[in-house]
């Protein structure tokens, strides 16, 4: 893993220490990214017959630089993240508009509750915008074993003050 990605993951860890906040993110991040990709795909930019839906959309335009960023950060993790993001396109095509919107609302509520109620810290992307891209690749790295949450970052629940704050 490249030093730059390792540093981003370390920074991400400092804003996601509480186990319940970590769980909320495992649920919320896929919902938020699905919502973003699906809604960006609603915005047509230009007809392009070679694309599956015959139209270049804002999703296509955004996924190219995001995909490049992920691939440059780490080839294996980037490929997995890009596959996940690209899968949002056809899923979005068959998902009712209300469900796409609800996914985004639910995702943001769940994520913000994790930070407000359990973590007691604002999300790090409010200070470092690139952190908004780190969440998906971070959890992929956890699932693949390419990253482990540092033990110092996860205090036992019994050792936490009442209310879950560190």
User: If phi over 0 gives left and psi between -120 and 50 gives alpha, with beta otherwise, what is residue 74?
Assistant: beta
**CA of 139: how far to CAs of 39, 80, 103, in Å?**
23, 11, 19
Complete DSSP assignment for 55-83: EEEHHHHHHHHHHHHHHHH-HHHHHHHHH
pLDDT at site 124: 80
How much is the pTM?
Answer: 0.84
Indicate whether 96 belongs to any domain. Answer: yes
Instruction: Show the tokens assigned to 100.
Output: 């796409």
Assigned domain for 24 exists: yes
Tell whether 161 is covered by a domain: no
| Domain span at 32 | 3-149
Within a domain: residue 155?
no
In the block, tokens 């993001």 appear at 85
pLDDT along the chain (166 residues), means of 10: 91 87 92 96 94 89 96 96 95 97 96 90 81 92 88 52 50
Structurally, how many domains does the chain consist of? 1
Task: Assess if residue 91 is contained within a domain.
Answer: yes
Does some domain include residue 160? no
Cα 123 vs. chain centroid, distance in angstroms?
12
> Bridge-partner residues for 57, per DSSP?
44
What's the CA angle centered on 86, arms 138 and 123, to 5 degrees?
35
Q: Is residue 90 part of a domain?
A: yes
**52 in a domain, yes or no?**
yes
């Amino acid at each position: 893993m490249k030093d730059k990605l390792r540093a981003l993951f370390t920074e991400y860890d400092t804003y996601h220490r509480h186990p319940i906040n970590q769980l909320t993110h495992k649920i919320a991040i896929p919902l938020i990214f699905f919502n973003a990709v699906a809604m960006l795909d609603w915005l047509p930019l230009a007809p392009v017959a070679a694309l599956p839906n015959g139209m270049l959309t804002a999703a296509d335009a955004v996924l190219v630089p995001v995909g490049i960023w992920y691939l440059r950060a780490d080839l294996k993790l980037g490929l997995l993240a890009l596959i996940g993001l690209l899968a949002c396109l056809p899923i979005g095509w068959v998902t009712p508009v209300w469900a796409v919107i609800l996914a985004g609302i639910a995702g943001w509520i769940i994520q913000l509750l994790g930070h407000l109620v359990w973590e007691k810290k604002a999300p790090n992307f409010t200070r470092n915008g690139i952190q908004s891209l780190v969440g998906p690749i971070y959890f992929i790295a956890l699932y693949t074993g390419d990253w482990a949450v540092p033990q110092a970052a996860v205090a036992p629940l019994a050792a936490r003050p009442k209310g879950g704050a560190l």
